[in-house]
Amino acid sequence: MSKNILETSSRREFVHGCLAAVGAATLNGLGSGCSRSASAASSSFAVVSAAGTADEAINQSASAPRYLELERSGELRRRDRQLWSMLGDCTLCPRECGENRIRGRAGKCGVADTFKIASFGPHFGEEAPLVGSRGSGTIFFSNCNLLCVFCQNWQINHRGDGRVTTHAELAGMMMALQRSGCHNINLVTPTHLVPHIVRALRIAIADGLRLPVLYNSSGYESLVVLRLLDGVIDVYLPDFKYQDSQLAARFSDGAPDYQTHAAAAIKEMHRQVGTLRVTNGIAQRGLLIRHLVLPENTAGTDGFVKWVAAELGTDTHVNIMGQYSPQYHANQYPQLSRRPTREEIAQAMQWAREAGLQNFH
């Protein structure tokens, strides 16, 4: 087992800090970026205050992001149009609601023709290769297409806290994160908003964006959409939450096909970017899977690690997370109403060792 690469602060702490900032400043014009730094949370667009310069961060990249060539060739423009057309009969995710979001009809994710961002800023609570010395340039999108009963960020994902944002503003956030020296652009819960993200990304590319882009999702993805992101995304950070369809249906708003779609999605992500590659301590490209240990092995950790070893290889990077605590509606379900015990977490790690995984944390 590799050394533990997790920093001490959790995403939940980060989000709650951001929610406080959102409440106080309503993203303050173009946006009150959030980090654990009070100065960053209290200022407006120049929120991001990580040390270092954008040039230094860009110079740490092993190579230019492939999205530059996609834009240069006109391919990204073509994909932008194709993604946008999917909004008219929404099949952006496996829910396949079929709603015309362009005409203002929302599907399961609750998002129609506008979109919201809860917060953005340098985040130091992600895995070390994502954070480096100047933080991961995190953008938290509001709402979600999976909607778990134990959601750790329910105010954002279920209630939709955040501020309505334009494409130009989102592009501006990406540029502000780059100027601050962040090592990457980290798109959190992006699945239901991919057309908006690609459109904003194209504006940012024209403005000089050069950072790797991270896709940080629940794993409940459409293969069609993922293929349109081939070359756009540098690092994929999917969850793999369950192995059992009945549990997925019960705990994630009637998504019994979660395991099937997440498995196919993660294989496609792996095909695109391969094993995680780290240069000068910073992730440049690849796949890192997150798996939250749930009480009573509700997440099916033993099956998950075996699947990773068999389907992706034992060198796959996996973060087995032990920080679950009951949030949102979790207390309504006995098997989710407590933290996992030390023994349960140790057992999860043991299963990973027995499966032969070499890069789990």
d(CA 323, CA 321): 6
Of 97 and 299, nearer to ligand SF4 (C-beta) is 97
Write the DSSP string, 259-322. HHHHHHHHHHHHHHH-B-EEETTEEEEEEEEEEE--GGGTT-HHHHHHHHHHHT-TT-EEEEE-
Compute how many residues bind ligand SF4; rule: CB under 6 A.
13
Q: Within 140-169, which residues bind ligand SF4 (CB under 6 A)?
A: 145
What six digits make up the tokens of 219?
Answer: 């794993």
Phi, psi of 262 (to 5 degrees): -65, -40
311 binds ligand SF4 (CB under 6 A): no
The CA radius of gyration of the chain, in Å to the nearest whole number, is 19
Q: Which of 11, 95, 196, 199 binds ligand SF4 (CB under 6 A)?
A: 95
* 90 in contact with ligand SF4 (CB under 6 A): yes
Which of the ranges 90-98, 177-185, 195-203, 337-345 carries the binding residues for ligand SF4, by CB under 6 A? 90-98
Of residues 160 and 326, the one with the C-beta less far from ligand SF4: 160
* Closer residue to ligand SF4, CB minimum distance, 165 or 284: 165
Which residue, 97 or 287, has its beta carbon nearer to ligand SF4?
Answer: 97
Measured from the CB atom, is 42 or 91 closer to ligand SF4?
Answer: 91
**Burial level of 342, CB count in 10 A (0-12/13-18/19+)?**
exposed
Pairing state between β 163-165 and 185-188: unpaired
CA distance 264 to 15: 29
The distance of Cα 91 from the centroid of its chain, to the nearest Å, equals 19
93 is a site residue for ligand SF4 (CB under 6 A): yes
Least separation in angstroms between CB 249 and ligand SF4: 15
In this chain, which residue has its C-beta nearest to ligand SF4?
A: 107
Positions 98 through 117 that interact with ligand SF4 (CB under 6 A):
99, 107-109
Q: Please report how close the Cβ of residue 142 comes to ligand SF4 at its closest, in angstroms.
A: 13
Stretch that binds ligand SF4, among 34-42, 91-99, 198-206, 348-356 (CB under 6 A): 91-99
Query: Which residue number, 206 or 224, has a Cβ lying nearer to ligand SF4?
Result: 224
DSSP 3: P
Q: How far apart are CA 276 and CA 342, in angstroms?
A: 28
* Residues forming the site for ligand SF4 (CB under 6 A): 90-93, 95-97, 99, 107-109, 145, 192
